[in-house]
Amino acid sequence: MCARSNKAKRQYAGRDVVQSALFQRRRTSGIGITPLIDVVFILLLFFMLTSTFSHYQTLDLVNASAADSAIQPVEQVPPLLLVVSASMAISVGDSESKLTEGELQRLLSDSIVDGQIVLVSAGSGASVQDLVSVVEKLKSLGVERLDIVPSVQTRREEQS
Amino acid sequence: MNPLIETSRRSGFSIDDGMIPLINIVFLMLIFFMVAGKISQQDAAVFDAPVSGSQAPLVETDREILMAASGEVWINGEPLMVGFSDWLQANMADQESVDDQLWILKVDAGIEAQELDRLLVPLRESGIRRLSLTVRRSE
């Protein structure tokens, strides 16, 4: 009786050892979380370093039809030259006086009626941002035939 | 044995359990960068594009001129070592028609507008008509 119970105890103990070993094996053979984190970190670094969030647009600097007319002046109406100075101040041609908002609107409405080409030139102190803002303003006021020409200073240097 | 591992074993949770919030955050960041970001070629130099309300999308082209705030010029990612007119003459001589060519200008908003003449005058003289300035949307 006693020998029988000892044998049964040994069998139970053996089963426990096998179960414990199986449990250990199952735990250790599962997919480790550390390699997963490694891969995710590498992916994160890749996307952080390569991706950009700036979405650019474009602004046409040369209107093809205006450029054609500027190269081959077939029209009798002389173009309207606007010079952009610092802080978006606009003057006509070589004139020193700056145009007010009302004067500019009147001038542009006349030039649109006459079919004039509006040429925009950079004056002293004007930044690229000023030039872009003025071009946009002119377009919003209805000017379609618009072209950007070299500054007065550059043209004088070329002539001399 | 590491005392931290020993303590965690005794209290019934593993180190991996503590890592789960970290992994969640990393996964969220990864998804954000994958969805919101756009993989594109880096510019040759840092430039601050002028602000504009223009809605015209940026067209991919292999003719790109970048003028940084310092006044240095890069063409298609390569620094310009000679005068722009000379470069145009050397590179445009073998091209028959330039009428349909689109050139993208990337110019820093802060530089003087008269600096643009360095690019615009030679481009005009070589017959290039399609010219677009890269701008960024006003916020």
Nearest to A127 among B23, B40, B109 (CB): B109
Confidence of residue B84 (pLDDT cuts 50, 70, 90): confident
CA distance A73 to A21: 94
CA distances from A118 to A63, A145, B4 (A): 11, 6, 77
Question: Is pLDDT larger for residue B31 or for residue B98?
Answer: B31
Confidence of residue A30 (pLDDT cuts 50, 70, 90): low
For residue A34, what is the nearest residue in chain B, using CA coordinates?
B16
Looking at the complex, does the CB of residue A61 fall below 8 Å from at least one CB of chain B?
yes
CA distance A41 to A34: 10
How many Cβ pairs closer than 8 A exist between chain A and B? 151
CA angle, B70 then A150 then B81, to 5°: 40
pLDDT tens sequence across A109-119: 887 777 788 88
Cβ distance A44 to B39 less than 8 Å, yes or no, reads no
Where is mean pLDDT largest: A69-73, A120-124, A128-132?
A: A128-132
CA distance A135 to A63: 12
Nearest to A128 among B27, B58, B113 (CB): B113
CB A105 within 8 A of CB B87: no
Nearest to B108 among A48, A128, A158 (CB): A128
Instruction: Determine which helix (DSSP H) or strand (DSSP E) holds B4, and give its type and residue range.
Output: helix B3-11
The pLDDT score that the predictor gives to residue B2 is 56
Confidence of residue B107 (pLDDT cuts 50, 70, 90): very high
Confidence of residue A17 (pLDDT cuts 50, 70, 90): low
CA distance A76 to A145: 15
For residue B67, what is the nearest residue in chain A, using CA coordinates?
A128
The pLDDT score that the predictor gives to residue B116 is 87
User: To 10 degrees, the CA torsion angle through A140, A144, A147, A153?
Assistant: -50
Looking at the complex, does the CB of residue B5 fall below 8 Å from at least one CB of chain A?
no
Is this prediction's pTM over 0.80? no
CA distance B139 to B137: 6
The average pLDDT across B57-61 equals 80
CA A124, A127, A130, A133 dihedral sign is positive
